[in-house]
Structure 1
């Protein structure tokens, strides 16, 4: 676990008391500077990603399109299929190799991992330098910039050293996640709300302003540099990587009696995808562990995706006229007449972002119902198979595309029930594509507030704010009844001790005595070095907190609690030889500063790497100055919900359980609390991974 509660030992209190008012003001300014840097660098990364993806996709589609056009009349389209599959597999192979062989934690969207990190769970290498979608990339940038160094690059710039602790790092990672959302969707307000709703477990008002500042800088940076790239300097028309286009004219109108239809669509999008994910993910991801097999699996999926897409386009006869205002960047004629293009190719033979935009804004009649129905089913099962591969990819865009497809299909079917068979204002297919996209994504990620604002900002129109909110609330309420959200499923599959906002509703009958870990390994306030070394060596590396006790001189009473010290602190003390030598009867030991602990943060060396001689083992170590002299404690009769609320609200790592005489009887950790959850048969215990 992470320490989101500041360790108030004597060193910390002395440093804080020596700092002047101007010193605190400088620290606050530094926090704003760091947030600005996070936004700027995240925006630059998003700009780089957009340019690279646009160039690679352009090359891929242009080569395949020319090849298809060449062989359409003369035969030999199998060569075009092979070319498409090879290009798909080659690009995916590069990403899969990086993930499988170098950074497995980079697989997926990274959102569940960042969510766990902000909840207080230390996931190894989660914010190390790696590839990843924008939310994960923003968090990685924030973690590196805020610490003034990069472990991956082995560079220490000796700046922002004060922020080298879990509490400060957590706040900056929240800002990085928000900046990533802002850069992806051009939605700075939505980014802040995403970090609040889906990411951060701890919040305050000043953090809101700093995160909003980082989000604004991120989207502005992306906008500014993309305008230069597109030879339109100063024309800030590219606020995000994903551009949904603007809804204008009749397409933004809806009637009161359409709201029940929108709500029904929210119920439909409650998680068709998740119901299958929930049963298939454990089966499809259990047996593929070897990196080479993971790469081959990803390449296989890429090749099959190209084959299925090509087959769907080949057998489709949905030909539409190619008008002067067509939005398809790579229209395929295939077997259509001159001046027409294959509508199925618009959905498959484009980047997903462009396909979503065409489903939102193409004129009525652009797609026939059969095309949309086949595309929805095909893309749905491909998305199920793709999720969990060893590539840095999430479900945001696939979910939007699936939802937009079946949403537009609903709009077309509704249009057919009008008296004259025409498309009326209340059955505009683009409008229903937007609602379907919101319903599908909301059902999967279970976000309401932030996703509403993201969709409003991305479309540039607040008119659909209410319908989208109702759709998302319906998707969440109905979806929660059947199956958990995708991120919660992902977290549960990894057996991570995630703490939700509240304790299980039926847990009041449990007390701290029943959930605590005991017996507890305690240390004396003045302890023998050999005892400390043996304690650290003989206990698991997951054993990180040690209550410090003191025995009343001349009394036979058991020792009483006087503080709490961490394994990492003891490691630093042993490394710096902070000992009292009995032979010389010295009463003082080597003076350390907080800087010594910050220099070792966050990857403290293992006890096996610390050499302690036999003579040094006979020395003593005074823990008074380094322990937290005021740890949080609870009586052993405290109810589980009260323990949970204290632990969760303060971001604790350890909570000491004491008896009426302040003697240690147990220790509550994250795992002790997280193993209880409300299941179908009442309160249940989970088997959790070690933390």
Structure 2
């Protein structure tokens, strides 16, 4: 029996060794990557949906009791979810906070950021995102899942490499992280083509075409698994798009409407840039204002607690919930904004009546409701994505753009009803607005492809591409993208994009802005030289280190803060007193050694000062004042009375050795 087991194991390992080269292949890794990210994304969606239903059920049950119970059941879960997500991000991995696209963009440009692609960050990101999304804050999951896709790609590559004992270079990991980014976008909206293009535009300046098939192959398998999971857990018999639309395929728009679509694209470019500017100002206010820094130092939970309370107060159903749409999900809001009928007209069926009742109010019309929704999402999403929790911003900008386009289309129906012989469809303007506004904020053309895939129709392909192109032109001229602003605010190492060839910057030479009288350090520089260098150059942050004043061979650079720390440690008052005391002890010891003080055995000796005759000096040093005295026969008892531990520490620190302990 034992021989049979050995034979089975031998056969198993023999075939395993033969099969491993086939398994350890990029194709297999990409399939596993796409499937694993799809499963995680679907699990997060299911958990978020369940938690959101539980939160709304708690409110409806408590609101039937009295108004105060309703307020408490609405505010406390929102605040609790935000605080819990913040605690998870801080305790497990602080690098999980925020979107993560800015960091991924930096990593894909060759910068090594430690701890951003680890298992701890993955766990923190997944749990924190699952907790904070049901709170109802105007945030999304696309950015965090781009980060999650990059982490999972790195972990799978390291696992396969460790099993096969194959050391991959850094470029290989970067290429797989790029594929993981495409998978992250795909699992959010079910758009493999848009996900690949978006990952290329957002994360790369110069993209290697050899990486294109990796992202596309993995994204396709990710979309298949994600949609199959949706079919298996729902009542649908076939694949359903993220936000299906029912636009007419026959004569969808008139040629005259292209001007209106172009105007909408320009407006989205302006407001998209304003959104990025608003988000940057909020970040600057939080990170650089003195009282905000003081507040964070005293209690780091004050800011997220304030924001969560403010959001819960605004979105309370009995207050502003009717215009902020706090009782329905972002997906349902997007479906209603893309609806294929005019809201200002009488409803023809219960479906239209339900949507109009959602957006109408007894005190104001649907136009004001759309305007209030745009203002709320615009202002609060710019604030909420600054919270130290896992959150994204792509879903909020989609909603802002769709609502802006819907308002534009509804007003066009009222004021220009006869602009063409065809009927104006406000939902098409919502479609163009969603793509154009998100394209302006991210400065990516692939948002148009994402909108095509999440709606399942391309009948408005020309208006969408026109609006996106014009919005990006305006946004690029006004301000950087929101991801580049995030890199700037986080002070991540990053190479800026090259300016166009028509710019006058290309005529500037290095000698036009270089420092000719540059201060430097050599290998022979003393502490005094460093101190003088720091005093004479107040604004320089980095100093070059050269071999010598004659050769000027550059060895490296030294940061100013490192030099200041070195000077503070070496030349502070306490250190100078220690050095002076040590020199005084050394002089006295040398003096005693010269006098040849003969003793039987030495208890304390200086390592470098034993004379050639083998004679040593027996002395007693008081640890308090450092004074010398000659030893007598009661040397050991005197040492014991002087606290042996303190004496031993003092002697060793000054370069002496107590032979009783050696």
Give the TM-score band, short-chain normalised.
Answer: 0.5 to 0.7
Matched, 1:438 2:435: yes
- Matching residue within 445, 466, 482 for 1:486: 482
Corresponding residue for 2:586?
none
The alpha carbon displacement at 1:184 in A equals 0.8
- Matching residue within 281, 285, 307 for 2:313: 307
1:225-255: per-residue Cα shift (whole Å, max 9, x none)?
22222266xx45256xxx2223333798122
Q: Is contact 2:106-2:494 (8 Å) kept? A: yes
Q: Assess, with a 3 A threshold, how the Cα gap between structure 1 residues 101 and 278 changes in structure 2: closer, same or farther.
A: same
1:401-433: per-residue Cα shift (whole Å, max 9, x none)?
122222211111111124599x99553222222
Q: Assess, with a 3 A threshold, how the Cα gap between structure 1 residues 411 and 560 changes in structure 2: closer, same or farther.
A: closer
The alpha carbon displacement at 1:439 in A equals 2.2
Matched, 1:248 2:247: yes
Q: Is contact 2:428-2:460 (8 Å) kept? A: no
Q: Secondary structure at the match of 1:300?
A: helix
Q: Is contact 2:247-2:340 (8 Å) kept? A: no
Measured on the aligned residues, the alpha-carbon RMSD in Å equals 3.9
Q: Is contact 2:150-2:177 (8 Å) kept? A: yes
Q: C-alpha distance in 2, partners of 1:26/1:205?
A: 25
Corresponding residue for 1:388?
386
Q: Assess, with a 3 A threshold, how the Cα gap between structure 1 residues 426 and 388 changes in structure 2: closer, same or farther.
A: farther
Corresponding residue for 1:348?
326
From the two aligned structures, give the one with the greater helix fraction: 2
Higher RCO (C-alpha 8 Å, min separation 6): 1
Q: Assess, with a 3 A threshold, how the Cα gap between structure 1 residues 52 and 210 changes in structure 2: closer, same or farther.
A: same
Corresponding residue for 2:303?
297
Q: Is contact 2:439-2:447 (8 Å) kept? A: yes
Q: Secondary structure at the match of 1:361?
A: coil
Q: Assess, with a 3 A threshold, how the Cα gap between structure 1 residues 522 and 102 changes in structure 2: closer, same or farther.
A: farther
Q: Is contact 2:37-2:149 (8 Å) kept? A: yes
Corresponding residue for 1:259?
258
Q: C-alpha distance in 2, partners of 1:215/1:412?
A: 37
Q: C-alpha distance in 1, partners of 2:51/2:337?
A: 23
Q: C-alpha distance in 2, partners of 1:433/1:252?
A: 18
Matched, 1:376 2:374: yes
Q: Assess, with a 3 A threshold, how the Cα gap between structure 1 residues 393 and 559 changes in structure 2: closer, same or farther.
A: closer
Q: Assess, with a 3 A threshold, how the Cα gap between structure 1 residues 484 and 419 changes in structure 2: closer, same or farther.
A: closer
* Long gaps (5+) in structure 1: 1-22, 150-155, 317-341, 524-541, 549-556, 566-691
Corresponding residue for 2:280?
278
Q: Is contact 1:418-1:424 (8 Å) kept? A: no
1:188-211: per-residue Cα shift (whole Å, max 9, x none)?
111111122111344333321121
Q: C-alpha distance in 2, partners of 1:309/1:251?
A: 40
Worse-superposed segment, 168-177 or 113-122 = 113-122
The alpha carbon displacement at 1:274 in A equals 1.9
The alpha carbon displacement at 1:277 in A equals 2.2
The alpha carbon displacement at 1:171 in A equals 0.1
Residues 55-134 of structure 1: pairs in structure 2 closer than 5 A: 55-68=50-63, 70=64, 76-129=66-119, 130=121, 131=125, 133-134=144-145
Q: Is contact 1:106-1:391 (8 Å) kept? A: yes
Q: Assess, with a 3 A threshold, how the Cα gap between structure 1 residues 167 and 258 changes in structure 2: closer, same or farther.
A: same
Q: C-alpha distance in 2, partners of 1:440/1:52?
A: 29
Residues 419-430 of structure 1: pairs in structure 2 closer than 5 A: 426-430=423-427
- Matching residue within 33, 37, 42 for 2:37: 42
Residues 226-241 of structure 1: pairs in structure 2 closer than 5 A: 226-230=230-234, 235-238=237-240
Residues 406-485 of structure 1: pairs in structure 2 closer than 5 A: 406-418=404-416, 426-448=423-445, 450-485=446-481
Corresponding residue for 2:199?
195
Q: Is contact 1:141-1:176 (8 Å) kept? A: yes
Q: Assess, with a 3 A threshold, how the Cα gap between structure 1 residues 420 and 465 changes in structure 2: closer, same or farther.
A: closer
Q: C-alpha distance in 1, partners of 2:57/2:251?
A: 34
Q: Is contact 2:98-2:391 (8 Å) kept? A: yes
1:497-540: per-residue Cα shift (whole Å, max 9, x none)?
322442684144324997699999999xxxxxxxxxxxxxxxxx
1:635-675: per-residue Cα shift (whole Å, max 9, x none)?
xxxxxxxxxxxxxxxxxxxxxxxxxxxxxxxxxxxxxxxxx
- Matching residue within 361, 365, 373 for 2:339: 361
Q: C-alpha distance in 2, partners of 1:147/1:375?
A: 46
- Matching residue within 187, 211, 224 for 2:228: 224
The alpha carbon displacement at 1:290 in A equals 4.5
The alpha carbon displacement at 1:122 in A equals 2.0
Q: Is contact 2:546-2:553 (8 Å) kept? A: no
The alpha carbon displacement at 1:97 in A equals 1.0
Corresponding residue for 2:579?
none
Q: Assess, with a 3 A threshold, how the Cα gap between structure 1 residues 42 and 424 changes in structure 2: closer, same or farther.
A: farther
- Matching residue within 142, 162, 165 for 2:167: 162
Structure number with greater Rg is 2
Q: Secondary structure at the match of 2:409?
A: helix
Q: C-alpha distance in 1, partners of 2:100/2:276?
A: 18
Q: Secondary structure at the match of 2:44?
A: helix
Q: C-alpha distance in 1, partners of 2:407/2:374?
A: 9
Q: C-alpha distance in 2, partners of 1:433/1:296?
A: 37
Q: C-alpha distance in 2, partners of 1:426/1:491?
A: 45
1:544-576: per-residue Cα shift (whole Å, max 9, x none)?
x9999xxxxxxxx97999xx99xxxxxxxxxxx
Residues 436-585 of structure 1: pairs in structure 2 closer than 5 A: 436-448=433-445, 450-502=446-498, 505=503, 506-511=505-510
Give the alignment's TM-score, normalised by structure 2. Answer: 0.64
Worse-superposed segment, 40-49 or 479-488 = 479-488
The alpha carbon displacement at 1:344 in A equals 3.6
Q: C-alpha distance in 2, partners of 1:371/1:141?
A: 42
Q: C-alpha distance in 2, partners of 1:349/1:522?
A: 67
Q: C-alpha distance in 1, partners of 2:369/2:499?
A: 47
Q: Assess, with a 3 A threshold, how the Cα gap between structure 1 residues 29 and 430 changes in structure 2: closer, same or farther.
A: same
* Long gaps (5+) in structure 2: 1-17, 127-143, 344-355, 360-365, 524-540, 557-662
Q: C-alpha distance in 1, partners of 2:91/2:421?
A: 54
Worse-superposed segment, 138-147 or 511-520 = 511-520
The alpha carbon displacement at 1:38 in A equals 1.2
Q: C-alpha distance in 2, partners of 1:432/1:84?
A: 34
The alpha carbon displacement at 1:112 in A equals 0.9
The alpha carbon displacement at 1:135 in A equals 0.9
Q: C-alpha distance in 1, partners of 2:206/2:406?
A: 39
Q: Secondary structure at the match of 1:162?
A: coil
Q: C-alpha distance in 2, partners of 1:160/1:401?
A: 48
